[in-house]
């Protein structure tokens, strides 16, 4: 599993073991010993049309924000299922909900 973390200033790309060695996990927020809060985003396992990895919180062109729907049990976007959309539409990451 791949993760990235937003620390309020920049994205940090890492695996969960590396993050947990420095921080304690609390749901999808990680608090460091210095009281900084990191927001963890999981890699969806999919890439955009340019080969960039798509993470929770990314914004896809003409599709919207990517997130995991806990009730349905799969990755989705504001306009529908992520897997379905990426198979039929060439989409590109335009940013994410933290930096843009």
* Cβ neighbours around 72 below 10 Å, total: 9
What mean pLDDT is predicted for residues 2-13? 82
pLDDT tens, 78-94? Answer: 787 666 666 655 789 99
Domain spans of the chain? 3-96
Instruction: Return the pLDDT at 34.
Output: 46
pLDDT of residue 2: 83
Number of H helices, E strands in the chain: 2, 11
Q: Output the pLDDT for position 23.
A: 56
What's residue 55's pLDDT? Answer: 92
Alpha helices in the chain (DSSP H): 16-22, 82-88
Cα–Cα distance between 34 and 83 in angstroms, integer?
Answer: 38
Prediction pTM value: 0.75
Q: How many CB atoms lie within 10 A of CB 68?
A: 14
Return phi, psi of residue 50, to 5°.
-100, 5
pLDDT digits (tens, 9 = 90+) for 17-71: 666 665 555 555 555 444 456 788 889 888 888 999 999 999 988 888 999 888 8
Q: In this predicted structure, what is the pLDDT of residue 82?
A: 66
């Amino acid at each position: 599993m791949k993760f990235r973390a937003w620390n309020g200033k920049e994205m940090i790309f890492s695996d969960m073991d590396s993050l947990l060695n420095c921080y304690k996990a609390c749901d999808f927020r990680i608090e460091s010993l210095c009281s900084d809060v990191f927001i963890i985003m999981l890699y969806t396992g999919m890439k955009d049309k340019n080969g960039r990895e798509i993470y929770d919180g990314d914004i896809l062109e003409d599709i919207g924000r990517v997130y995991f729907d806990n009730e349905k049990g799969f990755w989705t976007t504001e306009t529908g299922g992520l897997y379905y959309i990426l198979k039929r539409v060439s989409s590109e990451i335009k940013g994410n909900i933290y930096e843009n």
